Amino acid sequence: MPDANTPQPSEIAGSTGTAARIGLWLGPVLAIVSLLIPMTGLAWEARLVLALLLLMATWWITEALPLAATALLPILAVPLMGIDVGTDARGRLVCATEGLCRNALTDPLTNERLLNLGDLGTHYSNPVVLLYIGGFLIGIAIERWGLSTRIAYGLVARGGANPKLMLAGFLLAAGFISMWISNTSTSLILTPLALSVAAGSAVNGREDPKFASALILAVAYAATIGGLATPIGTPPNGIALTQLRAQGIEVSFGQWMAIGVPVVIVLLPLAWLILSRGLNIDAAGARGAQERVRQELGKLGPLSTAESRTAMIFFLIAGLWMVSTLIAEWIGEALLGGARIDGGHVDTMIATLGAILLFIVPAGGGAKRAILVWDDAQKIPWGILLLFGGGLALAAAAELSGLSRYLAEGLKGIADLHPAIVILMVGLLVIVITEFASNIATISLMGPVLISLSLGSETLGAATFIVPAAMAASMGFAMPVGSASNAIAYGTGKVRQADMIRRGLVMNLCALVLLTIVGLTLAPLVLGGV
């Protein structure tokens, strides 16, 4: 577990720096200016939504307010704009006209138009939000009973006294754990372990600085990379799913993994090649590091009953997620008389099953409690869940006001370029933004714009475009502010900013090329070109 000196940055907390103070005033100024500038062909409602988008984007990027607080703005602003934010039974946006896309509800007595705002709040309780609650609870259980620590030391121990294999062990451990719990939690758990191993390698009281830096960066980079593999691995993935669902496009847990896991399988070895270059520590230091790993693994003792039961529930739920599409088909045929059920909703049902089991199954081993009790659930980052709703409500307002179509027309020239060029340009833009802004804010801001871009293209499907873009939003490898994992690594004092920038830029370049290839080949194959 992290010590008192380990930084614990929040993914959703506001900032108190200069950027935040400037952003607090810059946001309203940009919103007002957008209303004053003439825009031919853009309805007043759409201009109001554009102003709201600029305000929220500025506050998200500068973290002038906590991200979750900014995400609540649509609840206040959208009703005042006179925009209906309604959906049909499948969660798709409803359009009554070809002009302004809004629900046409009228009072049966007066025949006056009524705003249909009842669905505005449903964006904050999207099924993906419930999926994340289940995922967070599984991650909390894994961390609560020390299963993540055991997995980490078990993998590192297999490297023996070879420092490069130890490095590979940390990469594999952080990558696998981050698939199921937050990147930040993964880094907070494993960074102290990496520091301990680095300290064990000291010869004559001096540890090898290259070895320490490589181990810590391995945790940071692998935590980021592993989160790409599953919808619950990192919040931008979930935000992308909610944005696609608003367009009536379902991407199942298994489909996401079919794209994300290959990305992880390629990026982890690349990270190892970059971090292991020139890594050559003294033989005595290597043996000391190996002994430290053995000591820490021995302190854990035999596998506890609670760990075993947590692992069984985890593997059960993970297995069900991987075949959720087949489960959806079986439910439809066997239980619903041939009716279709969306695979995304089945993913949420599976996550809920996992959460319930964790609160029911006894921990065992003399502990008179279940694997999880409600006090453990207080660790859920509820603010991140609000972000999902805020981003989705903003996207709905953009669609229903006609802003999305206006942007699509404006971006049509870009959309007409070769898909490889479009994906490359978008990936580069997203990676640059996310190096300086929260990955959550980046995809929340860019998602509606990218969907508009896909609508203006004859070759780019929304899902095949958004999924790689969401992954790019988590690929801030170069800057300490690029991710919470980077901040934790830099905060140890063992990683120089110059080293992080140099290695991170190489990682960014590799990731950009890989995501372009994925967007052109694997994503269309898995998602059917939607």
HSE-up of 168 (CA within 13 Å, CB side)?
Answer: 13
Q: How far apart are CA 496 and CA 257, in angstroms?
A: 34
- Please, are residues 56 and 70 in contact by the beta-carbon 8 Å criterion? yes
pLDDT in tens, 398-453: 777 777 777 767 767 777 778 888 888 888 888 888 887 777 777 877 777 777 77
d(CA 246, CA 96): 16
Q: How many Cβ atoms sit within 10 Å of the Cβ of residue 414?
A: 14
Residues 6+ apart with CB under 8 A from 124: 385, 386, 388, 389, 390, 392, 393
Taking the C-alpha atoms of residue 14 and residue 84, their distance in angstroms, rounded to an integer, is: 30
> Position of tokens 């008179």?
368
Q: Tell me the C-alpha distance between 134 and 476, whole Å.
A: 27
What's CA 8's distance to the chain center, in Å?
18
Whether pLDDT at 358 is above 90: yes
Q: Letter for the amino acid at 51? A: A
Q: pLDDT tens across 265-298, in order?
A: 999 999 999 998 877 766 666 677 777 778 877 8
Q: Which tens digit of pLDDT belongs to each residue from 364-394? A: 877 788 999 988 888 887 777 787 777 777 7
Please provide the DSSP assignment of 103-121 as one string.
--EE-TTT--EE---TTTG
Among 113-122, 186-195, 230-239, 516-525, whose mean pLDDT is lowest? 113-122
CB 240 within 8 A of CB 470: yes
Of the listed ranges 56-70, 193-207, 496-510, the one predicted with least confidence: 193-207
| φ/ψ (deg, to 5) at 18 | -60, -40
Residue 359: pLDDT band with limits 50, 70, 90:
very high
Query: How many Cβ atoms from other residues are within 10 Å of residue 133's Cβ?
Result: 19
Task: List the chain domain ranges.
Answer: 127-377
